[in-house]
């Protein structure tokens, strides 16, 4: 019987030590904050919202130049595209704008550029009539799910990814989704298809998955369009086009 008593004693010691370990663990970790593991699942976005967004999201290319001059833009009406200033041609050359679907190509030139905001407006050489164009929503919150649509890696293809809004900083929105070269100027939309930001920059190119991504906020975009010397003028929250005024255009 002694071996049995000895085995029971060993088990008892193990149980006691385990209980002590649990108590100590709770005591020393009670005030420790742990980062969440992974991102929350993306809230489903209606397929019609995604397809409608693709319709007014355009791919932009300066043909004959390096791939870094390929980017993305948003149709804000039938004749104008909003995009990032840093990927706009500075030599006056026409830019090629690819319309979805059908891969229709329209030429365009910049008519208003804002270096401070890194925003630019292009004017198309022909109209692109759509049922709806980009609309902007200034209100957003940390943790809000968004879709990112762009010309990823300059491959001239529509690419959709998702992320969450992480924070706001000096007129920019920060988020954790996938964004690479070629996405500049593309929309960040909420689940309703409203633009909350525009793809602009990222820090940490060596580790794109963990890089901080920054986008120009919708509030800043609206201010740029209102203050712009382009042919775009605000009419409530809808941007319309007035008669072209050459003296108000800014070519670079």
Res 38: pLDDT = 53
Q: Is residue 238 part of a domain?
A: yes
pLDDT band at 1 (very low <50, low <70, confident <90, very high): very low
Q: What CATH number should be reported for the domain holding residue 112?
A: 2.40.10.120
Count of domains in the chain?
A: 2
The pLDDT score that the predictor gives to residue 230 is: 46
Confidence class of residue 18 from pLDDT cuts 50, 70 and 90?
low
Show the tokens assigned to 56. Answer: 């007014």
Beta strands in 85-171 (DSSP E): 95-99, 104-114, 119-124, 145-150, 159-169
Q: What is the pLDDT of residues 171-220, one digit of tens each?
A: 899 998 888 889 999 999 999 999 999 999 987 655 656 678 999 999 99
Shared domain check, 68 and 8: no
Q: 115-155 pLDDT, tens per residue?
A: 788 999 999 999 999 999 999 999 999 999 999 999 988 88
- Are both 83 and 27 inside the same structural domain? no
Judgement on whether residues 141 and 43 belong to the same structural domain of the protein: yes
Structure token digits, residue 153: 């890696």
Q: What is the mean pLDDT of residues 102-117?
A: 87
| Structural domain contains residue 250 | no
Same domain, 81 and 20: no
Range of the domain at 1: 1-31
**Given this model, what pLDDT does residue 209 score?**
63
Give the tokens for residue 58. 């355009």
In a domain, 23, yes or no: yes
Torsion of CA 64, 202, 165, 131, to 10 degrees: -10
Q: Hey, is 76 helix, strand or coil?
A: coil
- Structural domain contains residue 1: yes
Residue 95 placed within a domain: yes
- Indicate whether 238 pLDDT > 70: no
141 with 55, same domain?
Answer: yes
Assess whether 8 and 127 both reside in one domain: no
- pLDDT of 134 reads 97
Which two structure tokens, joined as six digits, stand for 128?
A: 């692109």
| Coarse DSSP helix, strand, coil percentages of the chain, rounded to the nearest 5 percent | 25, 35, 40
Residue 124 resides in a domain: yes
């Amino acid at each position: 019987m002694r071996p049995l008593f000895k085995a029971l004693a060993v088990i008892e010691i193990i149980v006691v030590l385990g209980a002590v370990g649990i108590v100590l663990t709770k005591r020393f970790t009670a005030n420790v904050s742990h980062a969440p593991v992974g991102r929350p699942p993306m809230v489903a976005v209606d397929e019609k919202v995604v397809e409608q967004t693709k319709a007014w999201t355009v791919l932009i290319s300066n043909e004959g130049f390096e791939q870094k001059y390929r980017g993305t833009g948003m149709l804000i009406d039938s004749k104008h595209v909003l995009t990032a200033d840093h990927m706009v041609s500075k030599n006056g050359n026409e830019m090629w704008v690819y319309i979805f679907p059908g891969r229709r190509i329209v030429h365009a030139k910049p008519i208003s550029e804002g270096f401070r905001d890194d925003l630019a407006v292009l004017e198309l050489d022909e109209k692109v009539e759509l049922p709806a164009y980009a609309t902007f929503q200034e209100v957003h919150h940390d943790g809000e799910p968004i879709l990112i649509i762009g010309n990823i890696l300059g491959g001239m293809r529509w690419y959709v990814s998702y992320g969450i809004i992480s924070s706001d900083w000096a007129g920019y929105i920060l988020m954790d989704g996938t964004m690479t070269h070629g996405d500049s100027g593309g929309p960040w939309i909420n689940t309703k298809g409203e633009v909350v930001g525009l793809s602009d920059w990222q820090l940490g190119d060596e580790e794109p998955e963990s890089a901080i991504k920054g986008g120009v906020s919708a509030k800043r975009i609206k201010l740029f369009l209102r203050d712009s010397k382009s042919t775009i003028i605000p009419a409530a929250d809808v941007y319309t086009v007035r008669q072209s005024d050459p003296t108000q255009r800014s070519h670079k």
